[in-house]
Amino acid sequence: MYKKILLPIDGSDNSNRATEHAINIADVNNSDIIVLFVVEPYYPKIPLLISTLPTPGENYYKEVEDEGEKIINDFKKNLEENQCKGKCKNTHITSLIKEGKAYIEILNTIDEEKVDLVIMGASGRHSTLDRFMLGSVTERVIREARVPVMVIP
């Protein structure tokens, strides 16, 4: 039923739990899994403070991208060592790192990769203030995706 599963990750416990579900569903359906990590550019949270906030240093984006690659590599290692347990034999797993607003990049990837199902954590590494100010990434994906979205608490 599901041929391509999108698994957005951010290194949070919820995204790690979502991985278990993605593996089980992929195993049953002989699906491919696309693992996505989104590097979000620096956006000041409150526009009134823009002039008083420091701008990110020239190494900021490199550091964030490096963090994304570390998360992807740690994810792959954990996947192979702990979570697959023989279930990933027929599953092709690819990884993508994109830059932008997380929900937009997730929605774009759904269309670009012709994804049938999204499996993601209920919330990620962002603070409560971020979710209040910006809206939950998961909530935006649920509202705007044109494919089923499975949310894992």
Percent of the chain scoring above 90 in pLDDT = 41
Q: Return the pLDDT at 75.
A: 79
Q: Are the C-beta atoms of residues 119 and 25 closer than 8 Å to each other?
A: yes
Residue 51 — pLDDT band, cuts 50, 70, 90?
low
pLDDT exceeds 80 at position 64: no
Average pLDDT, the chain: 81
Residue 59 — pLDDT band, cuts 50, 70, 90?
confident
Count CB neighbours of 80 within 10 A.
11
| Domains of the chain as residue ranges with CATH | 4-152 (3.40.50.620)
Q: Return the pLDDT at 115.
A: 98
In a 13 Å sphere around the CA of 153, the CA atoms on its Cβ side amount to 0
Torsion (CA) 12, 17, 21, 24 in degrees, nearest 10:
110
pLDDT exceeds 80 at position 46: no
Rounded Cα–Cα distance for residues 114 and 108 (Å): 10
pLDDT exceeds 80 at position 65: no
Q: Return the pLDDT at 105.
A: 97
Q: What is the pLDDT of residues 83-104, one digit of tens each?
A: 677 677 778 889 999 989 999 9
pLDDT exceeds 60 at position 112: yes
Q: Return the pLDDT at 142.
A: 94
Q: Are the C-beta atoms of residues 91 and 23 closer than 8 Å to each other?
A: yes
Residue 45 — pLDDT band, cuts 50, 70, 90?
low
Q: Return the pLDDT at 136.
A: 85
Rounded Cα–Cα distance for residues 9 and 89 (Å): 21
Torsion (CA) 69, 97, 150, 22 in degrees, nearest 10:
-60
